[in-house]
Amino acid sequence: MQIIKNENVKEELYLEKLENGLNIMIIPKKGIKKKYVMFATNYGSVDNKFIIPGEDKVTEVPDGIAHYLEHKLFEQPNGTNSLDTLTALGVNANAYTTTNYTTFLFESTDNFYPALTELMDYVQHPYFTDENVEKEKGIIGQEIQMYDDYPEWVVYMNAIKNMYEKNPVNIDIAGTIESIAKIDKEVLYKCYNTFYNPSNMAMCFVGDFNPEDLIIEIKQRLVEKTKQGEIKRITEQEKDEIVKKKTEVAMEVSMPIFVIGIKDKVESKDIVKKHVAIEILLNMLIGKSSELYKELYDSELLIAEPYTEYEFTKTYAHIAITGQSKNPDKVFEKIMNKIEKIKQNGIDLEQFNRVKNMLYGSYIKEFNSVSDIARMFITDYFKDINSFDYIKEYETITPEYTFKILQEVFDYKKAVISVVKGKNE
């Protein structure tokens, strides 16, 4: 078992790769009552074209199938639902699908091992019939319609579609009513058998565990499966240019909401360092302590600090700035002007150091929460990143490097805006 220590947060990461290819991450937290586990597969909504190990032909499946699979795995042959079983054990259980992974999880203070038995049982034993697959279409169809009526989701997806032409990140995670209509039990089993192999999966445990004892418990609950070869994922080449500068739609909102996106190139080299630099830049640009935020807030162009993030996987990367404003176009213009001003005048060193220290402090705080730690390590794992690397990179980030990233990434030609305005405006 490999042990990685980090002195800054006084944490240890225990890594074990089992013979069947399953990767296990354990972060022991002595004396903590809560325990958190995530059982995840490297399979998300973008994986709609792939070559199954041992085959030559490309398999193409309906959009939304990863999310559909996540829903169906809770259903058991005896008519019970594993989510109900876990709730009855007193644990807080859930599951979700992202663009690049699907995860099943629970948090508990008691009944951890009975809950682990249930979790590992339902994830490893799919039960699909013509009847239960058909029944789910109505349930997921309602979920899709709900998201179609949800302004925050619409404004985000429109920004994504403004940036990406061919990358399947521009497809709703749940798919469409039309795409899920094509799903049957055969295609579900095909996707399950391809992506839910231990060699494509990982588990993360955070809590008061003895790692060696926990590994024994995990092995006892594993279904015997042989390690498989690499799944070849087919992603069409995405152009560097954006698709559309602006999209505006009308919905039931009290004040317009917006997402400003900046499309970026996909990189694997120094991605953690780049991510940290972009987080610093976003906070310097429009964070709560920035000049621009104060100006926009005082002039009532913003009612609260916008939410900013840098989203990236192995197939796409972009910045997203989300907020509310009575004049989103003016906010977009002001942000773009501020970017150009910083490019001309350089980075304010005092502000840079203050923001860098603030972000470092907030990152360290994430290690106080068992759920934050588990989500962080699982999310980063499927990007080939060790979450401890962020702590190392904070120490190496310089104003010069950050300025270089500003010039490379914050490009007006790659920027888009999506707006949802009120129906009466």
* Residues 162-199: b if buried by 16+ CB within 10 A, e if exposed: bbbeebbbbbbbbbeeebbeebebebbeebbebbbbbb
d(CA 201, CA 224): 14
* Residues sharing a CB contact under 8 Å with residue 88, sequence separation 6 or more, in sequence order: none
Residue position matching structure tokens 């796409």: 316
Among the listed residues 7, 11, 60, 70, the single catalytic one is: 70
Q: Which two tokens stand for residue 224?
A: 């015997």
**Burial (CB count within 10 angstroms: exposed 0-12, middle 13-18, buried 19+), residue 148:** middle
3 state DSSP class of 30: coil
Q: Is residue 224 annotated as a catalytic residue, yes or no?
A: no
* Residues sharing a CB contact under 8 Å with residue 265, sequence separation 6 or more, in sequence order: 240, 317
d(CA 328, CA 330): 5
Q: 373 and 390 in contact (C-beta within 8 Å)?
A: no
d(CA 306, CA 155): 14
Closest CA to 82 of 106, 98, 65: 106
* Residues sharing a CB contact under 8 Å with residue 108, sequence separation 6 or more, in sequence order: 34, 35, 89, 90, 91, 92, 115
For the chain, helix, strand, coil in percent to 5 are: 45, 20, 35
3 state DSSP class of 373: helix
Q: Which residues are catalytic?
A: 70
